Chains A and B, each alone.
Chain A
Amino acid sequence: MNYLREFLKCINKPEIWIFYSHKRIALKYRDTILGPFWNVINSIFLISVLSLSYFLFLNPDDFKNFIYRLSISIFLWLFISTILRESTSTLKNKLEILSEKKIDIKNFVCENIYTNFIIFIHSLPIVIILFFISDFKLQFNLILSFVGLFLVIINLLLISYFITILSAMYKDIEKIVENLVYAIFFATPIIWSENMVSEKIQNLLIFNPIYHFIVLFRDPLMNNVDGKFYESFSICLLLALIVFIINLKLFKYLEKRIVLYL
């Protein structure tokens, strides 16, 4: 279980990935007035356009609840999709350091997750404001949303490691992930909801892991903790276990050699 031990060591000694992460955010938003809040503004713009279209074409009764639901989904989607996309380039800019010093590459996987998590939490004030505007109520179940988010992050950590290793070896992975991310956006109930589609399509959603990630975070925030939530929770646990087992193989045969492929 060296793989798990090394991951825990990276998490317990976060100095290197926190350093990189803070520098990356500072560089990305250098000389901008709003810093990481630009990301929130971009999301608000997208949500506004989608909400307006929804309002004009469908004229719904539950408009404020729709905006709230859409916001949670979009913010979480951006968090997930950016991590997946950036996993393909995690090691690209690290050759300077990796060619001089033996550094566990899991540090850079943690950096990717942490950087995007910081950007993601900048959007939480918007979610809180929209929560109080919506018809949903403060309930104890809301806390399950954070439990769900924790499980989503564990899954993303494992998936990001998988993509990072493979994309360092195979240059095609970057394009595959890029296209998959586009496809998953439309295949996941982010701008549409489950009850808008046929039962057959609803049944297919069980095979979409991103759908389960979104259910884990979104449903408790919408006072909706039922069998579907626990089903998604179990599927995400199973997914984490499967990716963990695959990663054990990557760790054993590829990780130490990956610097030769950069």
Chain B
Amino acid sequence: MIIFENVSLNYPISTKNLSLRKNIINGIFGSNIKKNYIESLKKINLKLEKGVYGLYGANGSGKTSLLKVIAGIYPPSSGQIKVNGSIGSMIDFRFGLSKDFTGNECIELRLIAEGINKDKRKELINKIKIETELGEYLNLPIKTYSSGMKFRLAFFTSLNVQSDILLLDEWIGTADQNLRDKVDKLILERIAQSKITLIASHNLDRLKKICNNIIYFEKGEISKIT
């Protein structure tokens, strides 16, 4: 279960408040900066139980911020959030993909970060290697990969991390048409294994096909739930 109680998230604007000089001057003489943050989420109240939820809204409406708050990446600026269960996220497909690391290293790093033990990790690495179909490319630094190859690597690695709560953000973006059908099928299988799934997307038709409920976002607020 996920419960939001008056959760707000203020995102700092770097150009206004990250100068040490300005901070010192403001500290001494008082601040003339009225607002040095963006309100990404505004007093969100929400209770999510078992099911598949779609998050729909324009760019900057707060969908990804909500996912990141659930994942614990961003702390709420005010309010409280309660999350019961382990979290698996496919929010940012750059995850662990440091350009100088090889594909194999990226897989290992991701699994370490997920806290998977050494024996289980070995087993999963072999499985992921087969699923990605990247073969010898896995021994090369990922700066040599195309965006489709990076997607394969990140997607199949993320897919193999089991969790109670699954967070997905525009997961299909860089996949080619051949991969899309396969990805869709696998995502649906993965969703079935999770208790709660949240999917953020611009594609309302797609969300309507997959989700039980759709939460509409507008300027950091929930405008309606269907």
A-B complex is real: yes
Chain A residues packing against B (C-beta within 8 Å): 15-16, 19-20, 23, 27, 93, 96-103, 169-173, 176, 256-257, 259-261
Whether A96 lies near B98 (C-beta < 8 A) is yes
B150 to chain A, nearest CB (A): 11
User: When the two chains form the complex, which single residue of B11, B12, B71, B105 contacts A101, counting CB atoms closer than 8 Å?
Assistant: B71
Q: Is the CB of B95 within 8 A of A97?
A: yes
Per-position binary interface string of chain B over residues 20-48, scored 1 when its CB falls under 8 Å from any chain A CB and 0 otherwise: 11010000000000000000000000000
Residues of A within 8 A of B105 (CB): 23
- Cross-chain contact A171 with B112 (CB below 8 angstroms): no
Q: Are A170 and B71 in contact (CB under 8 A)?
A: no
- Interfacial chain B residues near A172, Cβ < 8 Å: 19-21
Chain B interface (Cβ within 8 Å of chain A)? 11-12, 14, 18-21, 23, 68, 71-75, 89, 91-92, 94-98, 100-101, 105, 108-109, 112-114
For A95, give the chain B residue with the smallest CB separation: B94
B95: chain A residues within 8 A (beta carbon): 96-97, 99-101
Question: A99 to B92, Cβ gap below 8 A?
Answer: yes
B196, chain A: closest CB distance, angstroms = 17
- Which of A23, A27, A96, A261 gathers most chain B CB within 10 Å? A96
CB proximity of A175 to chain B, nearest CB, Å: 10
- With both beta carbons as reference points, the residue of chain B lying nearest to A172 in the complex is identified as B20
Prevailing SS type, chain A contact patch: helix
Q: Which residues of A are found within 8 Å of B20, using beta-carbon distances?
A: 170-173, 176
Distance in Å from the Cβ of A152 to the closest Cβ of chain B?
28
Give A258's nearest chain B residue, CB to CB: B75
Contacts A96-B92, A261-B12, A261-B18 given; does A27 touch B71 at CB 8 Å? no
Least CB distance from A22 to B in Å reads: 10
Docked Cα-Cα span, A89 to B80, in Å, equals 32
Query: Is there an interface contact between B89 and A260, defined as CB atoms closer than 8 Å?
Result: no
Closest to A103 in B: B113
List, in ascending order, chain B residues with CB within 8 A of A98's CB: 73
Give complex CA distance A171, B98 in Å.
Answer: 22
- Contacting A96 at CB < 8 Å: which of B18, B23, B94? B94
CA distance A16 to B96 in the complex (A): 11
**Could you tell me if B98 and A100 are in contact, using CB atoms closer than 8 angstroms?**
no
Q: Which residues of A contact B18 (CB under 8 A)?
A: 169-171, 261
Q: Is the CB of B71 within 8 A of A102?
A: yes
Whether the Cβ atoms of A99 and B94 lie closer than 8 Å is yes
Instruction: Please tell me which one of the listed residues A15, A20, A102, A169 contacts residue B73 in the complex, with CB atoms under 8 A apart.
Output: A102
With A23-B101, A96-B96, A101-B89 known as contacts, the answer to whether A15 contacts B112 (CB < 8 A) is yes
Alpha-carbon distance A171/B74, docked complex (angstroms): 21
Please, how many angstroms separate the alpha-carbon atoms of A8 and B132 in the complex?
37
* Min CB–CB distance A78 → chain B (angstroms): 24
